[in-house]
Amino acid sequence: MNSNVEGTIAAVQNAHETLVTMMPSFLVDRRLSANRVLVAVASMLLLDAWACSYAFAQAPVDRMDQIVGSYSDSHQFMGSVLVAQGDKVVFEKSYGDANLEWNIPDDSLTKFRIGSMTKQFTAASILLLEERGKLSTDDYLKKYMPDAPAAWNKITIYNLLTHTSGIPSFTSFPDYRTSEATPTTPKALVDRFRDKPLEFQPGEKWNYSNSGYVLLGYLLEKISGQTYPDFVTENIFKPLGMKDSGYDSNSPVILHRASGYSPSPNGPVNSGYIDMTVPFSAGALYSTTHDLLIWEQALYGGKVLSAASVKKMTTPYKENYGCGLMITSPKGHLQYEHGGGIEGFNTEMAYYPDDKLTVIVLANLNGGAPGDIAGKLAAVVHGEKVMLQSERKEIKVPHEILAKYVGSYELAPSIFITMSLDGDQFFTQLTGQPKFEVFAETEKDFFLKVVDAQLTFEMDGQGKVTDLVLHQNGRDQTAKRTNAPSAQSSGPFEGKWVFNAGKSNFSPGPFPKSETLTFANGTTTVEGVNGQGQSFLFSFTPVLGQAVHVNGGGDLTVETKESGTTVEHTWSDSSGTSHGIGVISTDGKTMRYELTGARWGNPVHEVSVFEKQ
């Protein structure tokens, strides 16, 4: 797992790994929103049972292989894929290696960590206990945990199942990364978050929480008298004949278990270590494509839970989340799905009840490919046209059209997509992520090459840009334009400015030996040589009222405000520490930049004067 990624995903919620290749984390799956990647589903006409079977029989298997192969060939995917209607497998194939060092290929027997797909097994286990009269999902957890903190008094088991408890996810804590490799116990895991304040009152909001699902496993052990691994084995895996599934452990030898890898600029590397006692009931299981098909058939075929319990599990409460499952209807087609991500592995599994379609993608290479692949395979089966990245054609769009799109678009609370220009290159940047170039297919449709995602800009009747629509993983997410680009890139500021030491005043000093500021194409660039003779270069794309990352400035951010020909910059770092406030003013020929406050803990007052070049 990766604490930075988990924090981002928890914040993004419905953004679901947007615009970035997914990194390891057993929380990464809700695509959450942030959440991991939702499976794409194509719209289709209602067919009777015979016609539906015929459609699947005619499914273009070669196109499916071409789709998965494109991810394998580009080193984005290693793993196993299975597509089935009912109990009939219509496509199955493995790609790449289960162990790169020994050149052992992945195959249908390969066992993969499934990450947060574990949550549906935990949810089903809780519902089994409810059917047996051991608990009610309406019970307050205090009933089974008398020593729970007072803040938890109103939290029900159902709140834990649906991520509406308000308990913060321990995987987002600052110290999480340092604890991943340390063996732990269910009680010790609960102790990590039991005294943390709630993020909201129970049932009031939704926020993906690994803590909630760890707590469910802890309660399951107290109520059932069995360990979590024993319970899922005895009550789910053995009765269903899932012989290749279990609770993963770092110690025993597990036959046919894949090694996990992470991408790097030089190719796959061995993934980071996580002790499997840490993900526990939120993400510690392993399985195979065949075992997971057994699970899907049994769960939705009434062989695991009663119809009432399945309905509870598949009924969305908030943010399209039920009990261990996402429930959505993209393009009018109902699906139940969940993904998973953990060090070295990413997974995706979706079930479409209307036509009993199952899509399973298990990877032993971190990245967003499983969600992309699953969506495209489902779309092919449903008769949708699927376009691969390599099949998209780039066109040239005039600079003045691109300039209209520069600005900030809100994808989720506190999560923005920022569009910027650098010359004739057009870039997109998600909050907390790197900046990526986008390429035009039409004057309003663009695509990324680093990840399978597309952007469409929408305008009102007057031609004003109002929205950006992100197309990724079978979902269309609308981001409302919140701010136009800063006026720094136009009007009296636009152009190149050169530092004039004779008219400047620094305290404590010394003066930079040289410095130029360039305002162009929505981006501010600062470069030169400081008083100690060290070169510097940084840039940022200012957006009014929004803190943006400073490229080349470490973890610095800058928030921009404007009034006429005066601009105010508030500088800070990732901890929220202020590093001064700068005010820029100009008459079109001379520009004055005054910085006051504290920088790196030292008082500062600098007046820099620049001349228009």
Q: What is the pLDDT of residue 562?
A: 72
Token pair 């699953």 is found at 374
Structure tokens at 273: 């270590």
Which of 329, 354, 386 is where one domain is finished? 386
Q: In 3-state terms, the chain is what percent helix, strand and coil (to 5)?
A: 25, 35, 40
209 and 331, same domain (yes or no)? yes
416 and 541, same domain (yes or no)? no
* Mean pLDDT in residue range 465-482: 88
Cα distance between residue 415 and residue 432, in whole Å: 9
Which of 453, 484, 515 is where one domain is finished? 484
452 and 502, same domain (yes or no)? no
| 3-class state of residue 516 by DSSP | strand
Q: Is 158 within a domain?
A: no
- CB pairs under 8 A, 24+ apart, for 130-139? 130/309, 131/305, 131/306, 131/309, 134/223, 134/224, 135/219, 135/223, 137/161, 137/312
Q: Which of 279 and 174 is assigned the larger pLDDT?
A: 279
577: pLDDT confidence band, cut at 50, 70 and 90?
confident
| Percentage, residues of the chain above pLDDT 70 | 85
φ, ψ (nearest 5 deg) of residue 80 = -125, 145
One-letter amino acid for residue 379 of the chain: A
Q: What is the pLDDT of residue 33?
A: 33
Q: Which of 375 and 155 is assigned the larger pLDDT?
A: 155
435 and 352, same domain (yes or no)? no
* Mean pLDDT in residue range 87-105: 97
In contact, 283 and 214? CB cutoff 8 Å: no
Q: What is the pLDDT of residue 179?
A: 94
Judged on CB neighbours under 10 Å (0-12, 13-18, 19+), 49 is exposed
6: pLDDT confidence band, cut at 50, 70 and 90?
very low
10 and 87, same domain (yes or no)? yes
Structure tokens at 207: 């926020």
φ, ψ (nearest 5 deg) of residue 601 = 85, -5
One-letter amino acid for residue 160 of the chain: L
382 and 352, same domain (yes or no)? yes
In contact, 347 and 359? CB cutoff 8 Å: no
Cα distance between residue 613 and residue 603, in whole Å: 31
| Domain range for 508 | 488-612
| CATH code: domain of residue 40 | 3.40.710.10
Token pair 């305008």 is found at 459
Cα distance between residue 261 and residue 148, in whole Å: 39
Look at 240-254, 334-348, 579-593 and tell me which has the smallest mean pLDDT: 579-593
Q: What is the pLDDT of residue 354?
A: 95
Q: Is 296 within a domain?
A: yes
Q: What is the pLDDT of residue 522?
A: 62
Number of domains in the chain: 3
Look at 93-97, 195-199, 305-309, 514-518 and tell me which has the smallest mean pLDDT: 514-518
24 and 96, same domain (yes or no)? yes
Which residues in 512-548 are b (16+ Cβ under 10 Å) and which e?
beebebbbbbbbbbbebeeeeeeeeeebbbbbbebbb
Cα distance between residue 162 and residue 206, in whole Å: 8
Q: Is 41 within a domain?
A: yes
Query: Could you read off the pLDDT of 400-436 as tens digits, one per residue?
Result: 899 889 888 988 876 889 888 887 899 998 877 788 9
479 and 588, same domain (yes or no)? no
Cα distance between residue 153 and residue 176, in whole Å: 26
Q: What is the pLDDT of residue 601?
A: 67
Q: Is 77 within a domain?
A: yes
Cα distance between residue 558 and residue 579, in whole Å: 10
| CATH code: domain of residue 427 | 2.40.128.50
Structure tokens at 360: 């399973």
> Would the pLDDT of 327 be above 70?
yes
Q: Is 183 within a domain?
A: no
Query: Could you read off the pLDDT of 11-70 as tens digits, one per residue?
Result: 333 333 334 433 333 433 333 333 322 222 222 222 233 334 434 445 589 999 999 999
Query: Could you read off the pLDDT of 510-562 as tens digits, one per residue?
Result: 778 788 888 765 678 888 888 777 888 877 777 666 677 777 767 778 888 77
240 and 342, same domain (yes or no)? yes
Q: Is 283 within a domain?
A: yes
518 and 419, same domain (yes or no)? no
Token pair 């009777």 is found at 48
Residue 9 DSSP class = H
> Would the pLDDT of 485 be above 60?
no
| CATH code: domain of residue 570 | 2.40.128.20
Q: Is 179 within a domain?
A: no
Global confidence as pTM: 0.72
Query: Could you read off the pLDDT of 227-274 as tens digits, one per residue?
Result: 999 999 999 999 999 999 999 999 999 999 999 999 998 999 999 999
Q: Is 544 within a domain?
A: yes
Structure tokens at 293: 């098909």
> Would the pLDDT of 604 be above 90?
no
Q: What is the pLDDT of residue 435?
A: 86
546 and 591, same domain (yes or no)? yes
Which of 386, 408, 436 is where one domain is finished? 386
* Mean pLDDT in residue range 194-211: 96
Judged on CB neighbours under 10 Å (0-12, 13-18, 19+), 15 is buried
Instruction: Give the closest residue to 480 by CA, choosing from 468, 464, 470.
Output: 468
94 and 209, same domain (yes or no)? yes
